[in-house]
């Protein structure tokens, strides 16, 4: 299945970033890459399921490429990875300590974060991948 999304991974844990055109998918992916994430795909992402795991990769035509507005199309190493977290760039998080959100792709339910305007949000996503989230 192909979706309109970008995706990056940290230490083999992928993040699927969905949203409308211009919502900031590529910008968030680039920021996460600057923090050490590896590109999976930009703008178009192929998803498939193996067992209970959702996987993502780039279509061949855009593999290893990411758009940087006002800069151009940039080259980057790219690799498939299992998706463990989704980010919905079309929904804004308003709560300081939000309840858990979820999304399902190909029958696999994933935790989902909503967009935030906090300057620390990309760093928080990276820490989520490194250590997870604790709920009361």
60 is catalytic: no
Q: Output phi, psi for 114, to 5 deg.
A: -100, 155
Whole-number Å distance between alpha carbons of 63 and 41: 7
The residue annotated as part of the active site, out of 4, 69, 130, 133, is 4
4 is catalytic: yes
The residue annotated as part of the active site, out of 95, 96, 100, 134, is 100
100 is catalytic: yes
The residue annotated as part of the active site, out of 43, 91, 101, 114, is 43
69 is catalytic: no
The residue annotated as part of the active site, out of 25, 57, 105, 115, is 25
Which are the catalytic amino acids? 4, 25, 43, 100
């Amino acid at each position: 299945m192909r979706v309109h999304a970008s995706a990056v991974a940290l230490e083999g844990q992928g993040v699927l970033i969905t949203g409308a055109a211009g919502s900031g998918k590529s910008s968030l992916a680039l920021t996460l890459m600057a923090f050490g994430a590896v590109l999976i795909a930009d703008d178009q992402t192929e998803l498939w399921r193996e067992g209970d795991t959702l996987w993502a990769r780039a279509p061949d035509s855009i593999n290893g490429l990411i758009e940087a507005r006002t800069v151009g199309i940039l080259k980057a190493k790219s690799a498939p990875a299992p998706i463990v977290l989704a980010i919905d760039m079309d929904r804004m998080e308003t709560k300081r300590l939000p309840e858990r959100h979820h999304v399902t792709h190909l029958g696999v339910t994933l935790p989902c974060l909503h967009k935030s305007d906090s300057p620390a949000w990309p760093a928080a996503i990276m820490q989520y991948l490194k250590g997870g989230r604790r709920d009361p």
